[in-house]
Amino acid sequence: MSLDKSSVPPPAPPPPIPHGIPITLEVAKRVAAAAEAAARQNGWPMAIAIAEPTGALVYFLKMDNTQYASIDLAKAKAKTAAVYRRPTKLFTAALDNGHLLFLTFDGLCAAPGGLPLVADGKLIGAIGVSGGAGHQDDVVAEAGVDAL
């Protein structure tokens, strides 16, 4: 007996994270540096984008030998995690479960590697990472989050 994925309800959204004061350039650089260090330690060339809560880019870096497609993907992941206030892999999981309505969301990047940046319980921005497999992008993004 197979499970009809269309009969499984989509995951409930997490409670919205309240907005805080947008991430500063200094903090964005610290977050990106921690993510870059994790990528280097694992030998994964990555593009790393830091956005404020509106999704606007605050800081970006591309490591040598990162595929060029990862530039736009990292920015899109950061913007998605910021404006939707949730990890991008939640959308990946929902699509895997057959909830195609998320494909209609404007500007959505449903790929792992985008995480909200939360300080004192408030959303200050997001990090988007691209260049590896989805789980690798998440590992590097999480290192950036941990730097907060």
For CA atoms 84, 57, 142, 137, give the dihedral sign.
positive
Q: What is the mean pLDDT of residues 99-118?
A: 83
More confident residue, 144 or 103: 144
Confidence of residue 145 (pLDDT cuts 50, 70, 90): very high
| CB neighbour class for 116 (10 Å; exposed up to 12, middle 13-18, buried from 19) | buried
Residue 16 has what pLDDT?
81
Helix H or strand E segment including 78: helix 69-83
Token digits of residue 133: 């497999």
Q: What is the mean pLDDT of residues 21-45?
A: 98
Parse the chain into domains and list their residue ranges. 19-146
Q: What is the pLDDT of residue 28?
A: 98
pLDDT score at 102? 65
Residue 18, token pair as written in the block: 């309240």
Using CA atoms, how far apart are residues 46 and 37, in angstroms rounded to an integer? 11
Q: Which residues of 12-44 are buried (b: 16+ CB within 10 A; e: fewer)?
A: eeeeebeebebbeeebbbbbbbbbbebbeeeeb
For residues 114 and 77, is the Cβ–Cβ distance under 8 A? Answer: yes
> How do residues 45-104 score in pLDDT, each as one tens digit?
999 999 999 999 999 999 999 999 999 999 999 999 999 999 999 888 877 777 766 666
The fraction of the chain above a pLDDT of 70, given in percent, is 86
**Mean pLDDT value across the chain:** 90
| DSSP symbol at 132 | S
Name the residue with higher pLDDT: 16 or 139: 139
Instruction: Give the residue with greater pLDDT, 108 vs 84.
Output: 84
In words, the CATH class of domain 19-146 is alpha beta
- The tokens of 12 are what? 């409930």
In this predicted structure, what is the pLDDT of residue 6?
56
Q: Which residue has the higher pLDDT, 63 or 110?
A: 63
Residue 120 has pLDDT above 60, yes or no: yes
Helix, strand and coil in the chain, % to nearest 5: 40, 20, 40
> What integer pLDDT is reported at residue 1 of this predicted model?
44
